Structure 1
Amino acid sequence: MDLNSEADENIKNEQKQEEEEEEKQHFHVLAVDDSNIDRKLLERLLTVSSYQVTCVDSGDKALEYLGLLDIEENEFSRTSISSSKSSQKKASKVNLIMTDYSMPGITGYDLLKRVKGSTWKDVPVVVMSSENIPSRINMCLEGGAEEFLLKPVKLADLRKLHSHLLNTTNINDTKEQNDSIIDDDLNNNTNKRKVTSPENSERRPRIQELPVS
């Protein structure tokens, strides 16, 4: 390979990396872990990788954030949900859910099943655990998990999730386009239904025939 070809290849690689970094900024990850240390580590890794991340400390709060759990008193969630950005992203923009397996109450597997049985079924779910138990791993993968990662999660693990995020982004874009089309159709139909009443419509003037002399 000559110097010019090598330089062109380096430029292409740099452009590809820049495009990937720009794409990551649009990806929103919901991280679920009852361990404060593991949750902070995961949040840091995702933030360093240019992902937007929202962290919650239980499966119940993850379901609440996704709108899958009705809770009358939400005051506790104000302090338990933290975002890497100053403004919290809407749940409709979640591109990936990463959850610990062993949690009190709703486990990671329970959360996986609830998500896959809801309107969020197209969002990839990654289950994490510090225990390498083959039966548990197979159960989660058969239940719809995209990946099963062993803790502690590393940056190399997050790189493997990029393709899943791209697929989810395309799904979300299609949904937004369909919603926009539906809204436009509804507005057009509403306008068409507006009919002017006969009283307000212009009446044709009567033509008076003159007598023939």
Structure 2
Amino acid sequence: MKIILAEVNDLLRKSLSFFLGSKGFEVDQFDNGKDALEAIKTHEYDIILTDINMPGINGMEMTQYVRTVLKHQTPIIIFTSSNIEQTELDSFDIGANEFIPKPVSPAVLLVRMNKLLKQVN
């Protein structure tokens, strides 16, 4: 399974990448939305994990682009440190499959990822 992880926080990105790699996933990691979106345009991923607040292209813009321009149905999980309910609702409105508040629990993330991957397959 190939995953893209776009997360601005270095420690979180590296720790999630290590954790997911230890579970057998191949992880491409990026610290900004622009580079992550370029990778999505040229590679196939089984799941997209993205922070909502990133420089350049944020997670919401990336999700919207994947759904409306690329027309991909790849499962998308959005992370955020925002505890504003409207942000979560907006994420679902533009096509996110899951929304996980930070701090992200790797175990919870893995359960939600596996649930989404089973729905797709």
Give yes or no for TM over 0.5.
yes
User: Which of 55, 76, 80 is residue 129 of structure 1 equivalent to?
Assistant: 80
Report how far residue 116 of structure 1 moved. Answer: 0.6
Q: Aligned equivalents of 1:120 and 1:162: distance in 2?
A: 22
Report how far residue 152 of structure 1 moved. Answer: 2.0
Q: Which has the higher strand share?
A: 2
Q: Aligned equivalents of 1:128 and 1:33: distance in 2?
A: 8
Matched, 1:67 2:41: yes
Report how far residue 46 of structure 1 moved. Answer: 1.2
User: Which of 28, 31, 41 is residue 15 of structure 2 equivalent to?
Assistant: 41
Q: For 2:16, what is the secondary structure of its paired residue?
A: helix
What percent of counterpart residues are identical? Answer: 28
Q: For 1:37, what is the secondary structure of its paired residue?
A: helix
1:151 maps to: 102
Question: Structure 1 length normalisation: TM-score?
Answer: 0.53
Q: For 1:160, what is the secondary structure of its paired residue?
A: helix
1:149-194 deviation line (CA, Å, top 9, x unaligned): 01122112321221212344x4xxxxxxxxxxxxxxxxxxxxxxxx
Question: Structure 2 length normalisation: TM-score?
Answer: 0.89
Number of residue pairs matched? 120
Report how far residue 48 of structure 1 moved. Answer: 2.5
- Residues 1-213 of structure 1: pairs in structure 2 closer than 5 A: 27-67=1-41, 91-92=43-44, 94-154=45-105, 155-168=107-120, 170=121
Report how far residue 120 of structure 1 moved. Answer: 4.9
1:62-116 deviation line (CA, Å, top 9, x unaligned): 1111227xxxxxxxxxxxxxxxxxxxxxx12x10000001111111100110011
Q: Aligned equivalents of 2:5 and 2:68: distance in 1?
A: 19
| RMSD, aligned α-carbons | 1.6
Q: Aligned equivalents of 1:36 and 1:120: distance in 2?
A: 30
The structure with higher relative contact order (CA 8 Å, sep 6+) is 2
Report how far residue 38 of structure 1 moved. Answer: 1.5
